[in-house]
Structure 1
Amino acid sequence: MQLLIFGATGSVGRQVVDQALEQGHQVTAFARNPEKLDIQHPHLKFFQGDVMDAPAVEQAVQGQEAVLCSIGAGRNGKIRSEGTRNIVKAMENASVQRFVCQSTIGVGDSRGNLDFFWKYIMFGLLLRPAYADHVFQEAFVRQSRLDWTIVRPAAFTDEGRTGAYQHGFPGNERGITLKISRADVADFMLKQLSDDTYLHQTPGLSY
């Protein structure tokens, strides 16, 4: 497929790019600083731009078959949600339907999956702006006319891809580790391109 990946130089986005190329996709990596993505491949193109720049996003979306988004903003708010809103608008205008967007476990009906530390210390205090940003991000996606899937991963680890993880568990499931490798997040996101099981759904992802 012709894939456009936002957040391509981030820790998850890099994994998405690598695995998409392994699978034979034609990949366009959207990034402010593409040189950070030290990858060369005949099926890889770079689009230099800022996700907050709506015209640049509109241009990048043209001719794509699917879009994957793993943009982040650290502990700050607004960039993730506003950037995603630009992506959604551009996709709707270009009639590009399939959208796989990375959010975080703990948003919406997955809040019950969190333990005390994540619910009250991390998202309740230290990462409150980032958490709110995810909430707004998901709202923009849910309100769209796209064929969307919102992926809610647990806390990231640096382990390799295993393909052995839990997904789509109920929002009150407590038998999870609240950890998932970045490589497995990418693995799951790419699998959504050929599987409609989670169309218009928000599957959690954890070991």
Structure 2
Amino acid sequence: MRIAVFGANGPTGRLLTGQALDAGHQVTAVTRQPDSFPLRHDRLEVVGADVLDPAAVDSAVAQRDAVLSTLGVTAGKQPIFTYSRGVANIVAAMKRHRVRRLAVVSSSGVDPHPYSDGGFLFNRVLMPYVTRVLGKTMYDDMRRMEALVRASDLDWTILRPSGLYHLPSVTDYTLVEGHADGRFTARVDLAASMLAMLHDDRCARTTVSVITTDSNPTLFQWIRREALAKR
């Protein structure tokens, strides 16, 4: 299958590109910084393009069989439009070129729920601060992106991971339609689940949560390894 991966140079995008190549797909990795993309392969084309540039997006989508978006933006209080405007360009290009299959990464933070194992600190302090203050503009834009995707007539899937972290290999992850009671998602599992969407019509036109249940970090380990490492 010929796949275009947007956000390919991010942590999840690189894993997704590598897994797609291992599975025998022909991959177009779309990134604003093609010179820094670390992967090389006979079936890989690295394209320098900004998802906010409609013409560049159109060229990257042309002659593809599916599009996978792992776009990511650092949370902050400034206005964010990359998710909604970028995916609007992707959807428009897919319609022009009659590409049907789309999978996009969103976040469980767009529809936050208390978690059974979250405890007071996570459910009542950390999660409200992240979703309503620190990441408010990011999650607002993800909601706009999700609405745009749902309104399209494409065969779309929206994937909502929870707190992302690193594991060396794919686990027996869990997919749940709608909200899932799990606080963490390994990036390698998120990538694997996106790739699996290409061959699973049951997930077309649905929103699914991706949850890792093995080797999860504690909350403080996650903050130290992931949240603080980005500062």
The TM-score normalised by the length of structure 2 is 0.83
Offset at residue 74 of structure 1 (A):
1.0
| Higher Rg | 2
Q: CA offsets, 1:118-172, max 9 Å, x none?
A: 541111111111111111111111111110000001111011233312211553x
Q: Give the aligned length.
A: 202
Q: Which residue of 1 aligns with 2:113?
A: 112
- Once the two structures are superposed, the pairs formed by residues 82-97 of structure 1 within 5 Å of their partners are 82-97=85-100
Aligned residue identity for 1:102 = V
Offset at residue 54 of structure 1 (A):
0.3
Q: 2:21, 2:27 within 8 Å by CA — same for their partners in 1?
A: yes
Aligned residue identity for 1:112 = H
Q: Which residue of 2 aligns with 1:15?
A: 15
Q: 2:28, 2:47 within 8 Å by CA — same for their partners in 1?
A: yes
Q: 2:12, 2:188 within 8 Å by CA — same for their partners in 1?
A: yes
Offset at residue 100 of structure 1 (A):
0.7
Q: Which residue of 2 aligns with 1:161?
A: 169
C-alpha distance in 1, partners of 2:101/2:69?
Answer: 11
SS of equivalent residue, structure 1 residue 168: strand
C-alpha distance in 2, partners of 1:187/1:117?
Answer: 31
Q: Which residue of 1 aligns with 2:184?
A: 179
C-alpha distance in 2, partners of 1:70/1:206?
Answer: 17
C-alpha distance in 1, partners of 2:30/2:126?
Answer: 31
C-alpha distance in 2, partners of 1:13/1:118?
Answer: 27
2:148 counterpart of 1:143? no
Aligned residue identity for 1:128 = K
Distance 1:180 1:64, change over 3 A: same
SS of equivalent residue, structure 1 residue 150: strand
